[in-house]
Amino acid sequence: MIERYTLPEMGALWSERNKFQKWLDVETAVCEVHAEMGTIPAEAVGQIKARASFTVERIREIEKTTDHDVIAFTTALAESIGEPARFVHYGLTSSDVVDTANALLLRDACDLLIAKTDALLEVLKRRAFEFKDTPQVGRTHGVHAEPTSFGLTFALWYDETRRNRVRLERAKEAVAVGKISGAVGAFAHLDPEVEERVCERLGLKAAPVSTQVIQRDVYAEYLTTLAIVAASIEKFALQVRHWQRTEVREAEERFKKGQKGSSAMPHKRNPILSERLCGMARLLRGYAVVGLENVALWHERDISHSSAERVVLPDASASLDYMLAKAASLIDTLVVYPGRMLANLGATRGLVYSGQLLLALTRAGVSREQAYEWTQRNAMKTWDEGGEFREHLLADPEVAARLTREEVERALSPAAYMRNVGAVFARVFGET
């Protein structure tokens, strides 16, 4: 994780110190269960809990010799515990500790991500209602289509973010799985009851079956979920980048006092945060691919997944944590220009109302095919020759024979396009 994109709480969660602490939590829980089942002396557990300590520096020093981080960890523990340390790691293999501790880390990471998703939802809802009645031109294929509500965009993003929250909850449930089943998952040295009790003590589910490791499809689910959430944020940010284009300028990122946009061009105000979020979404997609590649391991386990997971699990978690926080800030402080939206709405001189005019003609008894032909020929005249769509329509004898000026004026109004926005808001938010 690079410090630039790591927020304090998620950074602390994935620190080396906290990782080893989670390992110790697993080792301690195993010792406690052993004592309850009479496998090791109860007094030994008390001594282990009272004496067990470590430093990251000492573990790293030992690992230079062992070239094995779990053995370095248990050796460091033994130095602090003394004679009762012989009961630490009793019947375990390294992955029993590492994978069960990973479940604790990933579960806690999900909690942080869900909390930030909730904060983003609050911002999206507030801005949706703020701009519910603000007309804006809708675009398809990048071309002006029909009027819409600017607030409807935030309602759409809210609904998508709400789905992402459900996905994160599912991912949390998927990863909160531990295993204490030994070197090939056959419980050769421990009773399955030990696994069940340890996992219950740690607030995890016990894997119904495992090899030496928790099966990596659960990690792939976590990483692909994070990639989906990041893709949504990229979608939001890409839209902001469009709004901030000079030719559009319907909304833009807040430009702070003292902020600089370019070393060469003092006038520049660039959508740098939105561009950053789009770039970071690419990282999350890459991490998801790594998660999928790690699903297939040789036999009961190889170690090809391990090096990759040391990078992608903390980095993906930290990256999305940062993205969620920045996305909420971006939307919360977004500067909006309703006047510019109205100007853009009129940029095509009324063409964006062609669909409503088409319907007005059909209601007047014209066949749809004929109504489309009349509307399109006046639209093409507006595109090619200039002038106002309204005036071309009123000058068209076939249109004028079917519609009054008042009916044309009514059709060429944003009001008709906004009348059901409240109904959509009721669907999304339960209120209008």
Q: Is 392 a catalytic residue?
A: no
Distances (CA, A) of 13 to 10, 47, 313, 368, 386: 5, 27, 12, 62, 62
Distances (CA, A) of 414 to 157, 179, 271: 23, 60, 29
Residue 247 DSSP label = T
Residue with tokens 């007047």, as numbered in its chain: 364
- Percent helix, percent strand, percent coil in the chain, to nearest 5: 65, 5, 30
CA dihedral 295, 297, 300, 303 (to 10 degrees): -110
368, 370, 357, 372: which is closest to 404 by C-alpha? Answer: 357
Q: Residue 218 is encoded by which pair of tokens?
A: 């659960």
Show Cβ contacts of residue 94 under 8 Å, excluding neighbours closer than 6 positions: 68, 70, 71
Strands 335-336 vs 251-252: parallel, antiparallel or unpaired = antiparallel
27, 62, 33: which is closest to 48 by C-alpha? Answer: 27
Distance between CA atoms of 90 and 300, rounded to whole angstroms?
21
Catalytic position from the list 53, 262, 367, 413: 262
Q: Is 80 a catalytic residue?
A: no
Please report how many Cα atoms fall inside a 13 Å half-sphere around the Cα of residue 400, on the Cβ side. 8
CB 151 within 8 A of CB 93: no
Distance between CA atoms of 143 and 344, rounded to whole angstroms?
12
297: left (phi over 0), alpha (psi -120 to 50) or beta: beta
Catalytic position from the list 141, 263, 267, 307: 141
Between helix 354-363 and helix 368-385 the angle, nearest 10°, is 150
Strands 205-206 vs 177-178: parallel, antiparallel or unpaired = parallel
Element (H, E) at 361: helix 354-363
Element (H, E) at 380: helix 368-385
Catalytic residue numbers? 141, 262
